[in-house]
């Protein structure tokens, strides 16, 4: 097998120094491997060439080529490699991956008189596509000594402003602005599927002799006119996108059931329009605050995980397992509810907690309670309900705030 890795990749370190040794203990010397560190341009070229020949491009690192298979990402390697090894052994083994011109250095003679090529690279922490482009750029820096790269982290508001200003300067379509990864070089830019080795190297060769001026010097985001346009661009879609996602998440049976309960109860005990409107408004405010605080905390948490790739893998893996468990239990509950066996439903609050909620609700919502207690009850219920139902509907809201 061929293993492509990066020195700064913790997933790679785990696969090479922990996972593979355990596999080798089990299967012995029948396993042979060759390691390729992709900061070496020759190794990165080999990775791209193999991906083209296998018909599977843009794989995550680490990537393993074995028999006719590509395993891109530590998760895929952990899940599938041993099974593939077992199949290969049962078939009498497998040869090294085939690629033409293996071992022949890809040399380039760079004229030292060539002018500097300036490249601006914008990335988002936690973006897998950005990680792959990052390795590509590091490889090209080795191949093109006159290439100077300046990197910008889009979790910074100032860097977002700079990217937006460059998008406006370069004529990037509005729907493609503030995406990652994206590079600006000379009079050109690359983003999305176009940002690959072939297209990027084509641009580098275009500017190899003449060089290119720094893209970041083309714009001045401090000027009042540019700042005004930037603010207008931001306001044109980002808040509306997040608000839309929040509204979609807010349309759920749990939240509606509770507010309908409050309205019905208040009507029953003789409360009039203003009291009902006040309770409904406080309940809605509580839901909004809960989503706002969840959004801030969840976004920071996701961004923090980028610093700890192994922790990130564990958290996301556990989340996937929990999601599968909840999905299975939801199907179970559906079948039980369809048969009328509501007492057998699994996904519900424990009996003691239900009694506590009922007792608290009656204390705050009885006919003799003042409006103040009703408002407190509505706020607490809105906040708690939002916390409990967020795992069900947050898959729309959370990805939106992360992307925006």
Residue 268, both tokens: 């029953």
346: nearest Cα among 354, 355, 336: 336
- Position 109 scores a pLDDT of 53
Q: Residue 105: is its pLDDT beyond 50?
A: no
- Position 16 scores a pLDDT of 92
pLDDT bucket at 154, cuts 50 / 70 / 90: confident
The mean pLDDT of 113-131, rounded to a whole number, is 83
Q: In sequence order, what DSSP letters do the residues of 24-70 get, joined into one string? A: HHHHGGG---EEEETTSHHHHHHHHHHHHHHT--SPPSSEEEETTEE
Contact, 116 vs 148, CB < 8 A?
yes
- Position 107 scores a pLDDT of 47
Q: Considering the chain, what percentage of its residues have pLDDT values greater than 70?
A: 71
- Position 69 scores a pLDDT of 93
Domain 2-90 fold: Glutaredoxin (3.40.30)
Report field, pTM of the whole predicted structure over 0.75: no
346 DSSP 8-state letter: S
Residue-wise over 146-174: b if at least 16 C-beta within 10 A, else e? bbebeebebeeeeebbbbbbbbbebebee
Q: Residue 304: is its pLDDT beyond 80?
A: no
pLDDT bucket at 329, cuts 50 / 70 / 90: confident
* CA distances, 67 to each of 62, 88, 351 (Å): 17, 8, 56
Residues of the chain with CATH 3.40.30.10: 2-90, 117-221
Residue-wise pLDDT tens digits, 164-202: 889 888 988 888 877 889 999 999 999 988 888 889 989
Q: What CATH number belongs to 117-221?
A: 3.40.30.10
Work out the number of other CB atoms within 10 angstroms of the CB of residue 320. Answer: 11
Q: What is the mean pLDDT of the chain?
A: 78
Biggest CA-to-CA distance, the chain: 89
- Position 312 scores a pLDDT of 57
Q: Residue 309: is its pLDDT beyond 60?
A: no
Q: Is 108 helix (H, G, I), strand (E, B) or coil?
A: coil
pLDDT bucket at 8, cuts 50 / 70 / 90: confident
Burial class (CB within 10 angstroms; exposed 0-12, middle 13-18, buried 19+) of 32: exposed
Residue-wise pLDDT tens digits, 362-394: 655 555 556 777 788 778 877 777 766 655 555
Residue-wise pLDDT tens digits, 25-83: 888 888 999 999 988 888 888 998 899 888 888 788 899 999 999 998 888 899 899 99
């Amino acid at each position: 097998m061929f293993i492509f890795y990066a020195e700064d990749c913790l997933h790679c370190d785990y696969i090479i120094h922990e996972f593979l040794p355990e596999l080798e203990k089990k299967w012995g010397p029948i396993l042979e491997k060759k390691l390729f560190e992709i900061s070496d341009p020759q190794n990165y070229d080999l990775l791209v060439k193999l991906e083209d020949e296998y018909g599977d491009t843009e794989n995550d690192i680490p990537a393993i080529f074995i028999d006719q298979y590509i395993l891109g990402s530590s998760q895929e390697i952990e899940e599938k490699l041993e099974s593939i090894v077992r199949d290969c052994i049962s078939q009498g083994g497998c040869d090294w991956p085939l690629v033409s011109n293996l071992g022949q250095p890809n040399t380039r003679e760079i004229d030292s008189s060539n002018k500097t090529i300036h490249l601006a690279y914008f990335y988002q922490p936690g973006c897998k596509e950005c990680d792959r482009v990052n390795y590509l750029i590091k490889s090209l820096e080795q191949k093109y000594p006159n290439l100077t790269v300046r990197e910008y982290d889009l979790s910074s508001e100032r860097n977002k402003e700079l990217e937006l200003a460059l998008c406006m300067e370069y004529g990037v379509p509005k729907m493609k602005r503030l995406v990652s990864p994206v590079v600006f070089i000379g009079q050109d830019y690359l983003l999305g599927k176009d940002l690959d080795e072939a297209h990027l190297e084509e641009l580098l060769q275009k500017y190899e002799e003449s060089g290119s001026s720094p893209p970041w010097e083309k714009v001045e985001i401090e000027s009042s006119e540019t700042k005004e346009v930037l603010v207008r661009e931001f306001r044109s879609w980002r808040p509306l996108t997040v608000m839309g996602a929040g509204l979609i998440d807010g349309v759920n049976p749990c939240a509606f059931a509770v507010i309908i309960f409050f309205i019905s109860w208040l009507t029953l005990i003789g409360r009039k329009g203003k009291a009902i409107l006040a309770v409904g408004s406080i309940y809605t405010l509580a839901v909004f605050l809960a989503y706002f605080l969840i959004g801030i905390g969840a976004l920071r948490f996701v961004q923090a995980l980028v610093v700890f790739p192994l922790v990130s893998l564990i958290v996301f893996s556990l989340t996937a397992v929990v999601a599968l468990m909840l999905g299975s239990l939801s199907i179970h509950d559906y079948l039980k509810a369809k048969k009328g066996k509501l007492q057998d439903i699994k996904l519900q609050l424990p009996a003691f907690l239900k009694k506590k909620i009922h007792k608290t609700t009656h204390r705050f919502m009885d006919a003799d309670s003042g409006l103040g207690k009703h408002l407190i009850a509505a706020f607490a219920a809105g906040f708690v309900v939002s916390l409990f139902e967020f795992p069900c509907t947050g898959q729309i809201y959370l990805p939106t705030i992360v992307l925006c």
